[in-house]
Every structure is written in C-alpha cells, then in structure tokens.
Amino acid sequence: MTPGSYEGLKPYGWNDRVSALFAGHLDSGEYPARVVRVERIRAMVAGPAGEHFVATTVPLAVGDWVVVGGEGAGPPLPRWSSLARADPDHGAQVLAANVDLVIVTSPADHANPARVERELALAWQSQAHPLVAVTKADLAPPGLVEELRARWSGADVISVSVRDGRGVDEVRQRLAPDLTAVLLGPSGAGKSSLANALLDDDRQVVGEVRSGDGRGRHTTTSRQLVCLPGGGVLIDTPGLRSLGLLGATVGVELAFPDLADLAEQCRFGNCSHTVEPGCAVSAAERSGRLQPERLASFRKLQAEAQTDEKRVTPLPARPKQPRRPKRWSRDADDED
Ligand SMILES: Nc1nc2c(ncn2[C@@H]2O[C@H](COP(=O)(O)OP(=O)(O)OP(=O)(O)O)[C@@H](O)[C@H]2O)c(=O)[nH]1
Ligand SMILES: [Mg+2]
Ligand SMILES: [Zn+2]
C-alpha cells in the first residue's frame, strides 16, 4: 500500500521524505506512527488518529518512525540521523532519532564551553545540524555571549531568555515548518523552560536549580517528543551526567573547523600538534589566535573519540593460523 497523506501526522513531522520511508512497508491494517516516548516494554506513539501506547519487542528511540500493526510497533525504519552517546551501562544509547537540529543549551550563568564542544561533536556525528542556545541570557555577565561566539566561530549561536523572550522566535523559526529538534544540555540549563516557551504552554515540568552551584535537580526524567504550534517538533531530554563520544571522530573534527583549517597548514600531514616543527596549531596558540582552553578541549575530545572508536569498531581479528608442529616454531619470526 502507498502511504496516504496522513493529516494527523503532519504536526509530528510527516512530509514527503517521511512518506518515502514508508513506501512499500505498509500492509493493510497497518499504519505509520512516530515514537513520542519509550518505556520498558511499550512506547507511546503518534499515529494518524492520535497518541496511544503500543507494545514493542525491539529497541526504539524517541523520534523513530515505525509501522504499527496488530502485534504493536515494528522495528524502526531507517534513521536519517541518530543522536547517540556511549553509555557506561548499556554500551551505545540512541537518545533521539530522525532529528534535523540538535539544540545545545548552555546556561549563561554557568557556562561550560568544554561541555558544549562535546555536545557539538555528538550533534555533528548524529548527522543533524547543531545550534547553540546560550540560555538564561538575562543572567549573562557582560561580554560573555560575544566571547562564546568568538570561541565557536562558525557555529550558529543564539542567546535565549524565557524571562525576557529574546531568541525564542529565532529558535522557533529554525524549526518551521516540519523539522525536528532535540534539546541537549546539563540539568538546570533551561531546556524544559525553552520547550514551554516554544509551546506557549507550561506543559513540561520545570525545576529550581540548587542555590550554591546552580546545578539542576534532574527535573525531566524521560525523553519526550512534542509538536510545536507553529510547526516543527521538539524532543525534551533529561540533563545527562555522562556523554561518552562513542567514536565520534568525524563529529569532533566538524565541531572544531578552525583547528581542521590550521592543521592543513602544518608542515607534516600526520602532525600531532605537540612537538613538531612547522606546526600551525601550536603557532596559533603561541600567537594568541587560538585559545589554549579550546585547544585543550579539542585534544581531550579527539583522544577520547579515537579510543572509543577502537573499542566500538575493534580491528578485524587475525585469521587463525593452523598450529604448526613444534620443530617449525623457529620460523615464527618470518610470519607477517
Ligand atoms: N533567569 C532565567 N532563569 C531561567 C531561564 N530559563 C530557565 N530558567 C530557570 O532555570 C531553572 C531550570 O530550568 P529547567 O527548564 O527545569 O531546566 P532543564 O534544563 O529542563 O533541567 P532538567 O530537566 O533537570 O534537565 C528553573 O528555575 C527555571 O525557571 C531564563 O531564561 N532565565
Ligand atoms: Mg527539563
Ligand atoms: Zn600541527
């Protein structure tokens, strides 16, 4: 069966691209749906007639498109993007699927640029585009936003405040008419507050931060997809303590385009930007053009991503050699 127009799914991001995903996948009695929330053995999905629970037997992520039939939801249709982290307990965890935009939130009163850079790398690796939202801009110390913009030159940085409303429309415009965005950032960054501002409704629960260090209290506990009134889809997420890079080497490169440009000018193609002569990266650091903190952040993320990459994609096992009789063992050095 060919997918119909499914008016009821349009607020959930149904468009020609999604329709094409389902072509040839729908039998009679089946319908397309988008995963709105995932629980242990069931998921809340949005189908053409509204949101309802379905049984699931395969792992699904918020944002997945699935075929629903008599048995519940089938496996996810191929994802065009997948925001994932290395999870210390479960290996890899997909946080959100089929997102176009990752909104990396960074609270202006407790800016942590290195965390933002980690999240930018995960966003680029996911195949979505990142957008940095410096939240609580009404509390920003003078010059902070300009400083962050300079550090992340090349990234789309918007300062946002739900107190005075600045930046909210800009974020809204990025999502219309049918793009999907996921909010990423530490607990207390103001993700759910921004979701409510975009929804024009206090639907997401918002929590006070701790008075001393401004950390959040992990108010949001599950990932949830909501439709925005002016078009576009938003996924609110809980602030995560651990965001392992899961081999995101490409994402790290894309998050540091300035360093990639400099590295092209190094004398040696395999320059490690530490001790080599003619290193353009070290020269930029010495001259003050490259902030040492940014370089340190790049080195840390790159090393972590490379280590993860080896873990995630282990080198192919060497084919087993038939055991040789002992008297041939002196030839062992000739192997390879
Ligand atoms: N001054 C100011 N405070 C804000 C702004 N946005 C959010 N807050 C406050 O920051 C606190 C945390 O907001 P939340 O929206 O719950 O933060 P969150 O990122 O969803 O946190 P988790 O759900 O724990 O991950 C609340 O007390 C909000 O009122 C803002 O633009 N300006
Ligand atoms: Mg929240
Ligand atoms: Zn170099």
Q: Is there an atom of ligand 1 within 6 Å of 107 CB?
A: no
Q: Is there an atom of ligand 1 within 6 Å of 204 CB?
A: no
Give which of 301, 281, 276 is closest to 291, Cα–Cα: 281
Question: Mind giving me the DSSP string for 310-326?
Answer: HHHSPPPPPPPPPPPPG
pLDDT at 251: 95
What is the rounded CA–CA span in Å between residue 204 and residue 207?
A: 10
At the second CATH level, the architecture of 82-236 is 3-Layer(aba) Sandwich (3.40)
Coil/strand/helix, residue 332: helix
- What's the sign of the alpha-carbon dihedral 167, 168, 171, 173? negative
Query: What element of type H or E holds 168?
Result: helix 168-175
Distance 332 CA to ligand 2 centre (A): 61
The bridge status of strand 82-87 relative to strand 91-97 is antiparallel
Atom of ligand 1 nearest to the CA of 239: 25
What is the rounded CA–CA span in Å between residue 291 and residue 136?
A: 25
For 106, how many CA atoms within 13 A lie in the half-sphere containing its CB?
A: 26
Q: What digits encode the pLDDT tens for the residues 31-63? A: 999 999 999 889 999 999 999 999 998 999 999
pLDDT band at 257 (very low <50, low <70, confident <90, very high): very high
pLDDT at 57: 86
For residues 215 and 233, the model is more confident at 233
At the second CATH level, the architecture of 249-312 is Orthogonal Bundle (1.10)
Mean pLDDT comparison of 97-101, 146-150, 227-231, highest-scoring range = 97-101
pLDDT above 90 (res 254): yes
pLDDT above 90 (res 217): no
Q: Is there an atom of ligand 1 within 6 Å of 109 CB?
A: no
Q: What digits encode the pLDDT tens for the residues 89-99? A: 668 899 999 99
Q: For atom 16 of ligand 1, which residue has the closest CA?
A: 206
Q: Classify residue 88 as exposed, middle or buried by CB count within 10 Å of its CB (0-12, 13-18, 19+).
A: exposed
Q: For atom 6 of ligand 1, which residue has the closest CA?
A: 190
pLDDT at 153: 81
> Taking all residues of the chain, what is their mean pLDDT, rounded to a whole number?
88
Q: Which amino acid is at 210?
A: R
pLDDT above 90 (res 100): yes
Average pLDDT, integer, range 261-270: 93
Distance of CA 93 to the CA centre of its chain: 11
pLDDT band at 313 (very low <50, low <70, confident <90, very high): low
Distance 215 CA to ligand 1 centre (A): 10
Distance 261 CA to ligand 3 centre (A): 11
pLDDT at 272: 86
Q: From the CB of residue 319, how many other CB atoms can be counted at a distance below 10 Å? A: 5
Beta bridge partners of 69: 72
Average pLDDT, integer, range 102-130: 96
Average pLDDT, integer, range 92-113: 95
Give which of 6, 4, 64, 68 is closest to 31, Cα–Cα: 68
Give which of 255, 233, 261, 232 is closest to 243, Cα–Cα: 255
pLDDT at 310: 64
pLDDT at 184: 97
Atom of ligand 1 nearest to the CA of 135: 31
Q: Which residue has the tokens 């009695």?
A: 29
Q: Where are the domains of the chain?
A: 7-73, 82-236, 249-312
CB 37, CB 70: distance < 8 Å: no
Longest dimension (CA), the chain: 83
pTM, two decimals, is 0.89
The correct CATH number of 7-73 out of 3.40.50, 2.30.30, 1.10.3470, 3.30.300 is: 2.30.30
What is the rounded CA–CA span in Å between residue 105 and residue 235?
A: 13
pLDDT band at 2 (very low <50, low <70, confident <90, very high): low
Average pLDDT, integer, range 66-82: 95
